[in-house]
Amino acid sequence: MRKKPDELRLTAFNELNKGDSKSKVVNLLGEPRTISFSDYGNILWVYSNTEISRDMSSYIPVFNMMKGTESGISERVYIELKENRIENIYIVSYKITQGRGIINAGDYQEDIISIRKKYD
């Protein structure tokens, strides 16, 4: 069972600490949604929740078909692992805007709203 996004963020920040094993992460948060790499070559486990809704322009029929948009917020928890141990934990919030019409279907933009880092 997946945790609710707010519970996931609180669990990550309050119960996980530098040096904890990746098995502890899996026990608390489950398997990551995405796995990536940091600039330092460490493994990043990514847990995310995104909520998108149509913008007001999407309710104008012809405009929506051509150039409607939708937007929302993505909350992500990044668990940085070095040698299978937690190196750091980041919570990042993004504002997302994407096109959904014929003209702007390929448009996608993410802007960082906030970043919290557990260890300096």
> So what's the pLDDT on residue 1?
41
Return the residue matching tokens 């995104």: 50
The predicted model scores a pTM of 0.82
Range of 37-41, 61-65, 110-114 with top mean pLDDT: 110-114
Q: Which alpha helices (DSSP H) does the chain contain, by range?
A: 5-15, 22-29, 61-67
More confident residue, 55 or 2: 55
Q: What is the pLDDT of residues 65-100, one digit of tens each?
A: 899 999 999 999 999 999 999 999 999 999 999 998
* Cβ-proximal residues to 41 (8 Å cutoff; 6+ apart), any chain: none
Sheet holding 85-99, edge to edge: 34-37, 43-54, 69-82, 85-99, 108-117
Per the structure, the count of domains in the chain is 1
Helix axes 5-15, 22-29, angle to 10 degrees: 150
Query: Which residues partner with 76 through β-bridges?
Result: 48, 92
What are φ and ψ of residue 72, in 5° steps? 180, -165
Span 93-119, average pLDDT: 95
DSSP letter string over 72-85? EEEEEEEEEEETTE
Please say whether the beta carbons of 12 and 30 come within 8 A.
Answer: no
> So what's the pLDDT on residue 97?
95
Structural domain including 30 reads 5-117
